[in-house]
Amino acid sequence: MKQKPTLKVIAKELDVSVSTVSKALKDSKEIGAKTKERVKAFAKLYNYRPNNIALSLKNRKTKTIGVIIPEIVHHFFTTVISGIEKYANEQGYNVIVGLSNESFDKEVINLDMLANGSIDGFIISVAKETLAKEDFHHITETIDQGVPIVMFDRVVDEILCDKVIVDDVATSKKAVQQLISNGCKKIGIISTKDYVSVGRLRTRGYLEALNHNHIPKNDDLILKIDDKLNSNDNLEQLEAQIATFFKQNKQLDGIFAVNELYAITAMKVARKNGIQIPEQLQVIGFTDGVLSKHAYPPLTTISQHGFEMGEDCARLLIERLEKQDEEDETYQTVVVKTDLVLRETTKSKS
């Protein structure tokens, strides 16, 4: 193992000073042509690369951004990461990923580990446990220390920062409206507990759609899945809860699910009960991921455009980083548009 060459090593080897080497490598006009040549040749030969850490210390910025998400085994989050990565890399930034695993403590630890100078700013989607506890001190403290944060998807209204979201209410309303227009009479929703912002908002959209069509609200038709159940471990419990829901609501002919896993599982349960999709039951999911595309039958879903969300997050963050001196205290909330991707789990009954 050859040791990595540093300016100092090169300087000694060539019998010049460190600063000469530094300048030569930057093509400074202060340095004589042949010295430059010599230095550059030597540097190339030994594959010199400036030490990023030293630069970071000097410049007080690391050119890397930290992304903290609840789970990486989740198609939506990975598309967002792809988007972040793409934009960040284009701007010369690196991306460091931390997983909270939906746990408050791990979220705090991750933030702590990275906020100590390792990264210039965060992009985060808040863990369910954190939302449930409503304890956001780690986030506000980080912001107070001058480390900017961009929140996406699962955001916290009270915290002042840039945000990238989807118009959950309007989008859900649109989806449910589609079911109604298609002739569904008894539409159920499979959502999360209310502390998860997106679940709460999507439920609100569902209710607005019903209301708009003068359909009375029926609490039996609203299923709020217990916390953490969309982790891959307890699929059986998820299925059990949905099976019970089906049993309690016999004439269900439409389902709106707030994520694709819930939608897919509902379809599985329906199939076991001999219910035909879309003839007897129409289904729409949220988040257009691989699961939806490859489901049988292919699932009609709302596309959140995760990749674009990621790009927006990175853009917002990097823009703020690059003009950090200006102390801009006005925050943006970007609302990414959604699309209803019609596939085979819905169809007009007319």
Partner DNA sequence: GTGAAAGCGCTAACAA
Partner DNA sequence: TTGTTAGCGCTTTCAC
Give contact residues for its own copies (rule: CB under 8 A): 1-4, 47, 49-54, 56-57, 62, 64, 72-75, 78-79, 81-82, 85, 89, 94-99, 109, 112-118, 141, 144-146, 232, 235, 264, 268, 271, 290-291, 293-296, 327
CB of 180 to its own copies, least distance (A): 27
Give the binding range for DNA (CB under 7 A) out of 30-38, 100-108, 145-153, 249-257: 30-38
CA–CA separation, 77 and 71 (whole Å): 7
Closer residue to DNA, CB minimum distance, 60 or 137: 60
- Which partner, DNA, its own copies, none, binds residue 222 by CB below 5 to 8 Å per kind? none
Tell me, by CB under 7 A, how many residues bind DNA.
Answer: 26
- Which partner, its own copies, DNA, none, binds residue 47 by CB below 5 to 8 Å per kind? its own copies
Residue from 8, 185, 217, 294 in contact with DNA (CB under 7 A): 8
The verdict on 30 binding DNA (CB under 7 A) reads yes
Mask of contacts with DNA, 56-75, x by CB under 7 A?
-xx-x---------------
The verdict on 25 binding DNA (CB under 7 A) reads yes
Query: Long-range pairs for 276-281 at CB < 8 Å and ≥24 separation?
Result: 277/345, 278/344, 278/345, 278/346, 278/347, 280/253, 281/252, 281/253, 281/254, 281/255
Please give the structure tokens belonging to residue 38: 């010599």
- Which partner, its own copies, DNA, none, binds residue 7 by CB below 5 to 8 Å per kind? DNA
CA neighbours closer than 13 Å in the CB half-sphere of residue 338: 24
The verdict on 297 binding DNA (CB under 7 A) reads no
DSSP output for 167-234: -HHHHHHHHHHHHHHTT-SSEEEEEE-TTSHHHHHHHHHHHHHHHHTTPPP-GGGEEEE-TTTTSGGG
The verdict on 324 binding DNA (CB under 7 A) reads no
Closer residue to its own copies, CB minimum distance, 151 or 264: 264
- Which partner, its own copies, DNA, none, binds residue 118 by CB below 5 to 8 Å per kind? its own copies
- Which partner, DNA, its own copies, none, binds residue 8 by CB below 5 to 8 Å per kind? DNA
DSSP H or E stretch at residue 123: strand 121-124
CB of 250 to its own copies, least distance (A): 24
CA neighbours closer than 13 Å in the CB half-sphere of residue 314: 27
Helix 235-248 vs helix 260-272: angle between axes, to the nearest 10 degrees? 60
DSSP H or E stretch at residue 268: helix 260-272
CA–CA separation, 203 and 191 (whole Å): 7
The verdict on 7 binding DNA (CB under 7 A) reads yes
The verdict on 218 binding DNA (CB under 7 A) reads no
Q: Counting runs of H as helices and runs of E as strands, what totals does the chain give?
A: 14, 12
Q: Which residues bind DNA (CB under 7 A)?
A: 6-8, 15-20, 22-23, 25-26, 29-32, 35-36, 50-51, 54-55, 57-58, 60
